Chain A
Amino acid sequence: AQTVTQSQPEMSVQEAETVTLSCTYDTSENNYYLFWYKQPPSRQMILVIRQEAYKQQNATENRFSVNFQKAAKSFSLKISDSQLGDTAMYFCASQGAQKLVFGQGTRLTINP
């Protein structure tokens, strides 16, 4: 069975700081994808970044980057130069056959 664990229920940083959100996962799939989703107070699920497991290079999207450690089954999200609009719940997810499995989420607050 697939599992995804986010060990940080809440985090808080000052605007412009860098913050890293942790995620570990377990899967029996050989080829899979990993995702980070942002859920603002509107509760919409917004894709932040995606990593293909067979690619060694870490994915980056502007201020967002991941540290993908396949052997350790770790997939952390780094947000650089954090902005007030980054305040949201962040969910890590693993894609196995036919479905996404989500972690419990990390509530991130960016303080002015």
Chain B
Amino acid sequence: EPEVTQTPSHQVTQMGQEVILRCVPISNHLYFYWYRQILGQKVEFLVSFYNNEISEKSEIFDDQFSVERPDGSNFTLKIRSTKLEDSAMYFCASSKDQDGYTFGSGTRLTVV
């Protein structure tokens, strides 16, 4: 069964550093998403991406964050100048037609 692949599975970074979280969505999917889950809390929407541009973003997704689809297969989330409160599980998801989402296994980001 097709999968959404996320790398790395765990990333530790120092406060103030930039991180790039990588995702390979399912190949025939058209919609891509990033979600965040702070430990013990609910899953929160960050951003959706369609047709090579952001289609919607939450208030969490400020200038510190950016997304890119650099080569037609990867979908990346960049977090600039990381803060302690950015520590969370980050999930990538993809969807063919918005009625079914496949999630990756997540990247656990720890900011120290």
Contact = CB atoms under 8 A, between A and B. Distances in A.
A97 B99 CA distance: 10
Nearest to B50: A98
Interface in A16-56: 33, 35, 37, 42-47, 50, 52
B43 A91 contact: yes
Interface residues of A, number: 23
Nearest to A50: B100
B75 interface: no
B interface secondary structure, majority:
strand
A44 B103 contact: yes
For this complex, into which size category does the number of interface residues on chain B fall? Answer: 20 to 34
Contact of B45 (A46, A101, A105): A101
Contacts, number: 58
A46 B108 CA distance: 17
B65 interface: no
Interface of B: 31, 33, 35, 37, 41-45, 48, 50, 55-56, 58, 89, 91, 93, 98-103, 105-106, 108
Interface of A: 33, 35, 37, 42-47, 50, 52, 91, 93, 95, 97-105
19 contacts: A35-B101, A43-B105, A43-B108, A45-B91, A45-B93, A45-B103, A47-B100, A47-B102, A50-B99, A50-B100, A52-B99, A95-B98, A98-B55, A98-B56, A99-B48, A99-B56, A99-B58, A100-B101, A102-B44
